[in-house]
Structure 1
Amino acid sequence: MEEIEKIRLKKLIEELEKIRGKHTELISIYVPADYSIEKVREQVFQEISTAQNIKSKTTRKNVLAALEKILQELKLYRKTPPNGMVIFCGNVSQEEGRADYKIWVIEPPEKLSVKLYRCDQEFVLKPLKEMLEVKYNYGLIVIDNSGCAIGILRGKNIECIKERKSIVPGKTRKGGQSAVRFERVR
């Protein structure tokens, strides 16, 4: 990720951190890289029918409007972007009774592995913040009787590079009178 993109994303996160909803009316959606955009649309559509049961009239109106806006935005996508996508939407107006619905669609700098839908008083920004943290890379080698795996640990993500199966036969579990002979062979 280029330095300019990191700075822009950092400023956007700072802007989103300042936004507070009056009630649970700010929506955060994290879509992983390999997840179907159609399933996300279906989930948002189901959330619209669930949101109609919200008792508070203003909260219901704000949540329904935000979900409709998200649904309209999702129609522009045929498939999920290569690194996944993050959507933030809600009424950001500080005045009671005034509507100012905004939507932010972000393609994260790294592959997203978290699937999340949250309707809250603030946006969920922790997974995005973790992507911006300075990360150290560690090489991992895992060995057991049946094989081994080589990978890299970047932050909290593990990327498997290679897996190998072992051709060494396991212990013989035959017994009886031949048990001593099998032990000698090993």
Structure 2
Amino acid sequence: MELYPDETELWKIKKTYQYLSTIKGNGTSMISLVIPSNEHISKVSKMLSDELATASNIKSRINRSSVLSAISSVQQKLKYYTKTPNNGLIIYCGTFTDENNKEKKILIEIEPLKPLNSSFYICDSKFHTNILLEMIQVDQKIAFIILDGKGALFGILAGNNKEILYKLNVNLPKKHGRGGQSALRFSRIRIEKRTNFIRKICELADQYYLSDFNKNFIEGLVIAGPADLKNELISSELFNEKLREKILSIIDISYGGEIGFNKAIENSSSVLDQLKCIKEKKIIESFFDEIEKDTGKYVYGCEETCNSLTNGFLSKIILWENLEIERMVYIDSFTNLEIVKFKKINECDKTECLDENPKLVFSAKCNVIDWVIENKNKCETQIYIITDRTPEGAQFVKGFGGIGGILKF
């Protein structure tokens, strides 16, 4: 299944962060362990052995027992790893009291979406989840092309990190009244050099922002510079249509080069803040367009959408991030057929269907979004997880229940 970059992984991490942030332990039995990508598992295991010996001296019997149990569980978990995963590893383990006043032990392991550079270990009365929060606040990559008569700069902005990919230096001739009888020749040379400059920029833009061999998956493009050069670039037939569709802003600035790059970032801040909203708006509007045109290539509601997904009919599925609906599975004891029901979480009662039909046996239940993600490899469908913080998102949630999709045919 093709995904919007890391969309479902981000959602899972967000839900894990929200869950772990609410848990409070007794004493200092809640372990938070962060292992960077370059750390050896054997070194971490030795550190935990030392911590185990230290924890044996804790005076409180109950706290000592909980801490020792948590450390031992983490040690056992690390035995499944021969080496640290490419991006590192995060483990949370501890004992807490749930809402039913029962003691419960939890162990969660997370492989981050990007490499970890620092290590962290602490036993506390809560889990330290700031690193998960940083992962949720994903750095969307925005491409920048800064051009003037002296050259062009190609850069990437990801969060607060900027990177210059390439600098092209030229010296374009300016308009002048000199030349006499040679004026036409000077004008022709000027136009020819500008045309070659624009052609080179188009080639480099394809190379750095669209090539299959680079990792610069960009969410948008900002073009900035003085004079008319940037307009010539955008209107050029050589400028890739895929990049033209990603243009977020065209900015007039007085400088080129690195100074121009910094100024373009500063002047486009409001546009960048709206990027997530723009992305959501586009996918929801495409769904609304299918309905407005009455193409029949749309579906909404839990049962209809999930059935279309199971049958491989969906091209795109749109899910509200706070969709609290359970997919409940029952088995008919006579025919052995699977029967699926959808219920809001606060309305879930696994015995309701059993009272209506004694032949049914409750089998399992799962959040709808979790079920879609778990079954993502069985279908060729794009997953879009949206919020209700835009007018379009709020309308989708209120009018269509927060779940729908666009059919392939």
TM over 0.5: yes
2:258 aligned residue: none
Q: What's the offset of the Cα at 1:18?
A: 0.8
Runs of 4+ in structure 1 deviating by more than 3 angstroms, as ranges, are 136-139, 151-162
Q: What's the offset of the Cα at 1:112?
A: 0.9
1:148 aligned residue: none
- The answer to whether structure 1 residue 47 and structure 2 residue 54 are counterparts is no
2:31 aligned residue: 27
Alignment size in residue pairs: 150
2:14 aligned residue: 10
Q: What's the offset of the Cα at 1:137?
A: 5.3
Distance of 2:35 and 2:159 partners within structure 1: 19
Q: What's the offset of the Cα at 1:92?
A: 2.3
1:84 aligned residue: 88
Aligned partner letter, 2:90: V
1:135 aligned residue: 139
Deviations along 1:127-165, one digit per CA (max 9) or x if unpaired, are 1211211435589xxxxxxxxxxx977446788989xxx
Which of 127, 130, 135 does residue 126 from structure 1 map onto? 130
Aligned partner letter, 1:46: D
- The answer to whether structure 1 residue 72 and structure 2 residue 76 are counterparts is yes
Distance of 1:156 and 1:66 partners within structure 2: 37
SS in structure 1 of the partner of residue 97 of structure 2: coil
Aligned partner letter, 2:52: I
Higher share in helix:
2
Identity %: 37
Contact 2:17–2:129 (CA<8 Å) still a contact in 1? yes
SS in structure 2 of the partner of residue 66 of structure 1: helix
Distance of 1:98 and 1:51 partners within structure 2: 24
Bigger relative contact order (CA 8 A; separation at least 6): 1
Q: Name the Cα RMSD after superposition.
A: 2.7
Structure showing greater Rg = 2
Distance of 1:34 and 1:99 partners within structure 2: 36
SS in structure 2 of the partner of residue 100 of structure 1: strand
Aligned partner letter, 1:69: S
- Segments of 5+ residues of structure 1 without an aligned counterpart are 140-150, 163-186
Distance of 2:20 and 2:132 partners within structure 1: 11
